[in-house]
Amino acid sequence: MEAPMLPAAAVRQTQAALVAVYTPLPSKTPTPTATPFTGPVWPILFAGVPCVSGHFYCTDPERHEPMQWYQVYSDGSGFRSVDQLENPDMVIQRIRFSPDGSLMAYWAASSEHRHLFLADLNNKNPIELVVVPAEQGALMQGFDFVPETNCLVIWWSDIQQVAEFETVSVEQVCPGHAEPQELGVFELPFRSGGYLLSPQGDAFLAHSRNRDQNLQLYIQKIDATSPPLFLFTSEDELAFLSPRRWQPDGQAIEFILNRYHSLSYDQAAITKYAISRDGQTVESYLLVEDAPFGLCCDWSPDGREIVIALLDRPSEINGIYVFNLEDASWRQILPGFQLDRGPIWSPEMP
């Protein structure tokens, strides 16, 4: 027998009560080890809602209750709301933090427009750098901070549906400057995305999946007309690259390759790769042969852990996990949550 559906107002009231008294659920599923956590503790930012047990909120795609932003530490402590990110007139869709952790940039959706804001961590008096009509919002493929500045790089896509490539324009926007500065226009592999600016600000990392569903990972220099340098490719349709990052010195990139065993996506082999910027040196090692999930979402600041989210599962399994790259163990730090944005490692939010 299916559990009854609560009215939306009752669900919101239940969620508010859950947040007010939230304590971690006793389940450790699917934790395979009892390795005690002894590493550094970092803040993690995410948006979502607590599951309402017995009412299918966590698994019903028809439910669209308002999400809220929260922060929790990587040891599971310090759970709290981040109220300065709440705005009744728009929804934050993406957030990036400056390298020193003092500023944030976020892409937000209002009813008719899409906006890019720059703000301090209190989000007081945010500066609107970009505003476009809602129908153009999908052309924005990513943004990142320019090193040692408060400027941002933005990737805009103009997809050529009949070609194997898409044209991507790269712009720089800065507070106090009315017009963006064009840094270059590039012809990149079809369906590119996930752009990351190098620590030096002279190139970007991107990945794509072409029309044959082959994964490709490449580096494109911003100030050059040379074609992208391909670093990695996979012809496995059940393989996914996530997450990716530049090493701090900018001389190599790291990424996780998740190879799922079947279309059920409930088991994956997880392999870590490190490739030098020139593509000449490749290191890889298998972390887990049959993990009950693949990895997403973001690397820890020290590169030792990855924060991930499990979604659309029973409420005691849904939530945030941290995967340790050194011993291939993982721990659940926040069960009973359905996430809509994130999780990402973040500065300490005021």
DSSP for 117-182? Answer: EEEETT--S-EEEEEEEGGGGGGEEEEEEPTTSS-EEEEEEEE-TTSSEEEEEEEEE-TT-SSPEE
pLDDT reading at 15 higher than 90? no
Separation of first and last alpha carbons in the chain: 45
Poorest-pLDDT segment among 42-46, 209-213, 262-266, 280-284 = 209-213
Q: What's the average model confidence in pLDDT over 65-84?
A: 90
d(CA 217, CA 233): 6
User: b/e per residue, 210-247, with b = 16+ CB within 10 A?
Assistant: eeeeebbbbbbbbeeeeebeebbebeeeebbbbbbbbe
DSSP secondary structure code for residue 317 in this structure: T
Q: Which residue has the higher pLDDT, 24 or 196?
A: 196
Higher confidence at residue 208 or residue 116? 116
- d(Cα 59, Cα 44) in Å, to the nearest integer? 23
Question: Above 70 in pLDDT, residue 25?
Answer: no
Predicted confidence at residue 8, as pLDDT, reads 46
Assess whether pLDDT exceeds 90 at residue 271.
yes
Tokens representing 92? 């934050």
Give the pLDDT confidence score for residue 163 in this predicted structure: 62
- The predicted pLDDT at position 85 comes to 96
Task: Compute the distance between CA of residue 175 and CA of residue 152 in angstroms, rounded to an integer.
Answer: 9
Check: CB of residue 109 under 8 Å from CB of residue 89: no
Amino acid in position 68: Q
- Residue 109: its pLDDT value, please? 94
Rounded Cα distance between 204 and 83, Å, is: 33
Q: Are 137 and 157 in contact (CB under 8 A)?
A: no
Q: How confident is the model at residue 58 (pLDDT cuts 50, 70, 90)?
A: low
Is the pLDDT at 197 greater than 80? The verdict is yes
| CA distance linking residue 166 with residue 252, whole number of Å | 26
Q: Concatenate the DSSP letters of all residues of 272-310 into one string.
A: EEEEETTS--EEEEEEEEEESS---SEE-TTSSEEEEEE
What share of the chain has pLDDT > 90, as a percent? 52
In tens, the pLDDT along 77-94 reads 999 999 999 998 999 999
How confident is the model at residue 108, as a pLDDT?
A: 96
Residue 267 has pLDDT above 80, yes or no: yes
For residue 204, CA distances in Å to 199, 244, 321 come to 9, 12, 28
- Share the mean pLDDT of the chain: 83
Which pairs from 211-216 meet CB under 8 Å and 24+ separation? Answer: 211/164, 213/237, 215/239, 215/240, 215/241, 216/189
Q: How many helices (H) and strands (E) does the chain have?
A: 1, 24
For residue 11, the model assigns a pLDDT of 46
- Per DSSP, what are the bridge partners of residue 284? 273
Give the pLDDT band of residue 50 (cuts 50, 70, 90).
Answer: confident
Instruction: Write the pLDDT tens digit of every residue in 158-187.
Output: 765 556 677 889 999 999 997 899 999 888
